[in-house]
Amino acid sequence: MNIRIILLLFSLLYISSCTELDVPPPNVIGDETLMTSESGMDVYIAGMYSKMPFEDFKYMAQWGVEYNSWLGSLGIEGTGEALNRDGISAAFTGERTPYWGMAFGLLREANYLLEKLPEYADAFPEVTYNHYLGEAYFVRATVFSAMARRFGGVPLVTSVLRYPSDSETLEVPRSTEEETWDQVLADYNQAIALLQPTSPKSGYSNKNVAHAFKSEAMLYAGSVAKYNETVPGRLTGTGLKTGVRVIGFSEQSAQAASIRYFREAYLAANEVIQSGQYSLYKRKWAANDPDAQYQNMVDMFSDPTSPENIYVKQYQFPVATHGYDAYSAPFIFKAPLAAGTCPTLDFLELFEGFDRYPDGTIKVTTGSSNNQGDYLMYDSPMEFFEDAEPRLRAYVIFPGDVFKNQEIEVRAGVYTGSEPVKPLFNDYSYATAETRYQQLAAYTQAPKKLFLSAREGGSQELVSYQGGQITAAGANGPFFNNGESTLTGFYGRKWLNPDPSFEAGEGRSSQHFVLMRYADVLLNAAEAAVELALAGEASPDGSDMLQIATSGINEIRERAGATLLTGALASDIASRNIVRKERRKELALEHKTKWDLRRWRVQHYEERDGFWGETRDKEDFSMNSRYRFRGLYPFLSTESGKYFFDARFQWVSLKTFEYNIIDYYFAIPGGEVSKSPVIDQQPNR
């Protein structure tokens, strides 16, 4: 929403005469004001959208929908995308502020608009009137979808509850999960029928926006209906108070429901594709030019006119801002903190452009694993990444790469022993993850061969090198006892303001956040198509759905600078995993992956082999319900002036995650359960 217009509207509505005393209070705005003019409806709709459960810079998974950009980070929720220096880096098993009370408050506003606006229908042209109703349905569908993803079945409040009233009227029990997703579907369909083809004003929805969000919601519903069946115990159950199946699907309806939802997901996504209104951002893209492809993907997230943007959360300095740059930029730009988003080595291993060991992990030694042979040596850290997929470079700041016209110097330490250099550790397994570099004999015993730095500034360890002195950890660390530098050897680049003249600070960032883009839709269509094919279903609209899926994946890969598929996707698990992995890569650090892991049901220990969207030969990041991720740490060898890399579990401000089957559904707030005779807690809680 355009915040300036909204503030002006509020100001005009609040004006009252000093001499007129017998008037309503100036802060009370009646329906006859809001619902009889476009300016009044702008205020009403802006109010609803300001409360939407959108996940952007002001959403932290561990905290919930609090609209707070403090310590802003992305991908740190146990997804493997990134780690964070603070205690907010935890698996997505619940939210500090449950999305319950706020949800019902917003549902009331949407329901009130649907009930009351017909009284003022004559105040607007029919197309405008219908659009306003469509906005209310879109809001309601999005709220129910956000609740269903968290809780399963929820109370389907589709009318205004009026107070005072008898308890039977006010007490609405949880519906089944299937009924809840059916309501989401019905509301999105109503929105699509009523909304205009293009948004009449900035910040409003439209048919394609609703189609896109519908495809995402139905993909979630179809996945849950299908993959709940693969979880031990089938992950379903009934409430103690009502006997309603509040989570999961019945054995009799699960398969049919999954097909029905996947069909709806495909239809909605393909509607957007066939509309021709959107395309992948390629304004600076050039074939066979990795630098241009990298820069193109950097620019796409900061270009407000991108043809890829379907729905965007706008910010504007100084009235509407966030603090992402203040907390997630490299250490040299900290304002007041840094390193909030540190991508992992595990995440990098999703991408092309690296030599691999036989088990598929990135190669750092001459041997067949990272504890064998000698370290591979590089003239500079960036040489290691010279063949990396351009998309990855657009998402991650590599050691030695340039950001805001400055080289981002990253070193884990300096090695002064002789070459060739043997692996620093004998054992790199999960069991030894908490053994750190500062415990090595090369660091603690004479003659000292390994130099590390505890913190920045004058307290860094100094090393004599080429007639001068250098700091052991460089300008950006990692500093072994300071989590304000990189934890993994990398910094996130995606979403950071790349303008060198921009000075980060709390509440100074104003770059927009893309909540839905064309790549989302292509991936939604592709996944739904493969799932339908796996179920033996024909295309729901007569299109060649596997060809559309293949074309969508190849469009995304071409733009990313990745290898294209050589054949068409098929009705098999391998094709499903190709789509999942591409989604993992393309939509990383966009608040998408944490939901994908939940709907695929791959985050608990038994099925964690699909955690990366693929089956890997080696899954050594977990031992049981607990798991952790790795970094890639560059060291300078003073004998040759070359760099080597050590691939090791992350060791600065150590992060360990835990996820269990029960965590696929959040607990219902205890207060809501205890005070209501009809609100059931989740089974087994």
- CA 481 vs. chain centroid, Å, equals 28
8 Å CB contact between 393 and 294:
yes
- Look-up: residue for tokens 């959403």? 59
- At 11 the pLDDT is 38
8 Å CB contact between 242 and 680:
yes
How far is residue 522's CA from residue 302's CA, in Å, rounded to a whole number? 21
Asked whether the predicted pLDDT for residue 22 surpasses 50, the reply is: no
- At 481 the pLDDT is 83
**Band (344; pLDDT cuts 50, 70, 90):** very high
The whole-number average pLDDT for the span 522-534 is 98
Two tokens, residue 101: 């009370």
How far is residue 347's CA from residue 556's CA, in Å, rounded to a whole number? 18
Asked whether the predicted pLDDT for residue 145 surpasses 50, the reply is: yes
Where residue 667 falls (left for φ over 0; alpha for ψ -120 to 50; beta otherwise) is beta
Select from 482, 414, 529 the least CA-distant residue to 651.
482
Which pTM value belongs to this model?
A: 0.94
pLDDT tens track for 233-270: 889 999 999 999 999 999 999 999 999 999 999 999 99
Residues ≥6 apart with Cβ < 8 Å to 118: none
- State the average pLDDT for the chain: 93
8 Å CB contact between 531 and 340:
no
Angle between helices 254-275 and 545-560 (to 10 degrees): 60
Could you give the percent of the chain with pLDDT greater than 70? Answer: 94
**Band (2; pLDDT cuts 50, 70, 90):** very low
The whole-number average pLDDT for the span 640-651 is 97
pLDDT tens track for 395-431: 999 999 999 999 999 999 999 999 999 999 999 999 9
Asked whether the predicted pLDDT for residue 7 surpasses 60, the reply is: no
pLDDT tens track for 465-488: 999 999 999 999 999 888 889 999
Could you give the percent of the chain with pLDDT greater than 90? Answer: 88
Asked whether the predicted pLDDT for residue 464 surpasses 50, the reply is: yes
pLDDT tens track for 583-641: 999 999 999 999 999 999 999 988 788 999 988 766 678 888 999 999 999 999 999 99
Q: Which residue ranges form the domains of the chain, and what is each CATH number?
A: 33-53+99-277 (1.25.40.390), 315-511+629-658 (no CATH), 516-618 (no CATH)
- At 15 the pLDDT is 30
pLDDT tens track for 541-594: 999 999 999 999 999 999 999 999 999 999 999 999 999 999 999 999 999 999
**Band (355; pLDDT cuts 50, 70, 90):** very high
